[in-house]
Copies of this chain bind each other. A is one copy, B any other.
Amino acid sequence: MREMGSSQPTAVELEILRILWELEPCPVREIHARLNDAKGTNYSTTVKMLSVMLTKGLVKRDENATPHVYRAAMTRQRAAKQFLSELIEKVYDGSAMSLVLQALASGKASKPEIEEARRLLDEMEDKS
């Protein structure tokens, strides 16, 4: 059994969400074009996945438009936050910072991004 209203997107679902974050609002045809390019998905499969995701509340659709257009039900930021929380909880036992350190240590970040991070660190230090 599955709890209501809190399902994490599965692999394919996430793939579709990514497409939506880029293209929404977006008809099935375009979503399918992408999926098909990526891995030869049948059109029926795309439609089905969207219907499943609609049931789960992962996407919304406007049925007034023809053809129907879909949108992600949550923003990329929100989804990322959920993933991150899960990652922190599940792997780092709740220590957000050890994750950050690892990400920083992984080494790819541009100068302006580093500046931005530094500014954030300052803010955090003030608050604590």
Contacts and interface: CB of A to CB of B under 8 A. Distances in A.
Contacts of A96: 103, 106, 108-109
Contacts of A99: 80, 84, 103
B107 A124 contact: yes
Contact of A110 (B14, B116, B128): B128
Copies in the complex: 2
Interface in A71-103: 76-77, 79-81, 83-84, 87, 90-93, 96-103
A48 interface: no
A102 B90 contact: no
6 contacts: A77-B102, A81-B102, A83-B87, A99-B103, A107-B124, A111-B128
